Amino acid sequence: MLSELLRDKKGFIFDLDGCIYLGDRPIQGAIETIGMLRKEGKRILFLTNNSTKTPQEYADKLKGMGIEVGDREILTSSVATAIYLKRLGGGECFVLGERGLIQALEEEGFKVLGMGEARRARYVVCGLDMHLTYEKLAAACHAIQSGARFIATNMDPRLPLEGGYIPGAGSIVEAVATATGLRPRVIGKPSKRIMKIALKAMGLKNSEVAMVGDTLEIDMAAARLAGITGVLVLSGSTKMEDLEKSRIRPDAVIPSVAGLQELFLKK
160 Cβ contact list (under 8 Å, min separation 6): 17, 18, 22, 236, 237
Whether domain 78-186 has CATH 3.40.50.2300: the reply is no
**For the chain, what is the total number of helices (H) and then of strands (E)?**
11, 15
* Preceding amide of 160 cis, omega within 30: no
Phi-psi region of 235 (alpha: psi -120 to 50; beta: other; left: phi over 0): alpha
List per-residue pLDDT tens for the chain, 267 residues long: 678 888 899 999 999 988 999 888 899 999 999 999 999 999 999 999 999 999 999 999 999 999 989 879 999 999 999 999 999 988 999 999 999 999 999 999 999 999 999 999 999 999 999 999 999 999 999 999 999 999 999 999 987 666 778 899 999 999 999 999 999 999 999 999 999 999 999 999 999 999 999 999 999 999 999 999 999 999 988 888 988 888 999 999 999 999 998 888 775
Question: pLDDT value at position 198?
Answer: 98
CATH 3.40.50.1000 positions along the chain are 78-186
Question: pLDDT value at position 146?
Answer: 97
Question: pLDDT value at position 1?
Answer: 64
CA distances from 228 to 60, 138, 193, 225, 266 (A): 28, 39, 14, 8, 22
Output DSSP code: residue 210.
Answer: E
d(CA 195, CA 187): 9
